[in-house]
Amino acid sequence: MAVARILGATDIDRILVDRSLISQGMDSLAALSLYNWLGQEIGVFIPLADLLQGYSIETVATVIHNKLNERHQVVSSSTTKEENMDTGLIEENEIKLSHNSNYTGIENIICLQDPQQCNSHVFFCITAQSPTNTDSLNKLFIDKISEQQNQTKSVIVYAIKIPSTASTSTHARDMILQMRRIQPRGPYQLVAVRNKQEEIIAHEMIRQLKDYLMIIDIQLLLLDN
């Protein structure tokens, strides 16, 4: 019914589910209306470019099904992983690391700097380097954050190593789980090197935080290599 109304069709039976919507009269304005309707009613946004490339109702339905199924799997996986972790979430005000300690108790995350000051900004730096190479990570992240943000000793800096998993979406999901054990709630400040794999992972993390966890207060600092 909604598609027929958007296309301006008076008879719903004349809308063919296996033919492209473009061939049935959908123009760019109608595609925009469909895009907004899907987002508001179902919570799924299909890119306008895809809708205008000849999607049929069947194709739209398949895309919606896949996106909702993927969302359910990510949320279920996140819940299961968090329930199976040996230790609970670490609240922000419970972080008490010494000045010279790198160990966080969480796989693939080390603390590069913690000034032990209240209300310090927290940066999560995404890296492909080994977390044991602290000298290199300090030079890469802390020095560059200082240069680009004019912030030096007053920030907490964590490095998250990209795990050896299969896909970008899985990388991002696992890193979000680890990050939220350090800082359960936003806002989040991510740091990545521009035009590297780290930047791709950072953008995927932001997408998942917004789409699946409804967290929108996220900033990304891109460092020049």
CATH number of 107's domain: 3.40.50
Verify that 80 and 117 share a domain, yes or no: no
Highest mean pLDDT among 25-29, 149-153, 213-217: 213-217
Verify that 29 and 127 share a domain, yes or no: no
Verify that 155 and 219 share a domain, yes or no: yes
Domain at 36, CATH number = 1.10.1200.10
Average pLDDT over every residue of 103-115 = 69
Residue 67 has pLDDT above 60, yes or no: yes
Overall number of domains in the chain: 2
Separation CA 162–CA 202 (nearest Å):
10
Q: Give the per-residue pLDDT at 201.
A: 92
Residue 43 has pLDDT above 70, yes or no: yes
Verify that 26 and 127 share a domain, yes or no: no
Residue 15 has pLDDT above 90, yes or no: no
Residue 100 has pLDDT above 60, yes or no: no
Verify that 54 and 101 share a domain, yes or no: no
Residue bearing the bigger pLDDT, 148 or 131: 148
Average pLDDT over every residue of 152-178 = 80
Verify that 156 and 76 share a domain, yes or no: no
Q: Which contacts (CB < 8 Å, 24+ apart) does range 146-154 have?
A: 148/221, 148/223, 148/224, 149/221, 151/121, 153/113, 153/115, 154/115, 154/117, 154/120, 154/121
Q: End of a domain among 63, 84, 105?
A: 84
Verify that 209 and 131 share a domain, yes or no: yes
Separation CA 217–CA 186 (nearest Å):
6
Verify that 120 and 28 share a domain, yes or no: no
Residue bearing the bigger pLDDT, 106 or 42: 42
Q: Give the per-residue pLDDT at 96.
A: 38
Q: End of a domain among 84, 116, 133?
A: 84
Residue bearing the bigger pLDDT, 87 or 31: 31
Q: Give the per-residue pLDDT at 185.
A: 84
Q: Give the per-residue pLDDT at 80.
A: 54
Contacts of 158 (CB under 8 A, 6+ apart): 104, 109, 110, 111, 112, 122, 123, 124, 125, 179, 182
Verify that 13 and 113 share a domain, yes or no: no
Structure tokens at 7: 């296309």
Q: Give the per-residue pLDDT at 8.
A: 67
pLDDT band at 200 (very low <50, low <70, confident <90, very high): very high
DSSP 52: T
Verify that 106 and 201 share a domain, yes or no: yes
Average pLDDT over every residue of 94-103 = 40
Q: End of a domain among 55, 84, 113?
A: 84
Verify that 74 and 101 share a domain, yes or no: no
Residue 9 has pLDDT above 70, yes or no: no
Verify that 20 and 107 share a domain, yes or no: no
Which domain range does residue 27 map to?
A: 2-84
Q: Give the per-residue pLDDT at 44.
A: 80
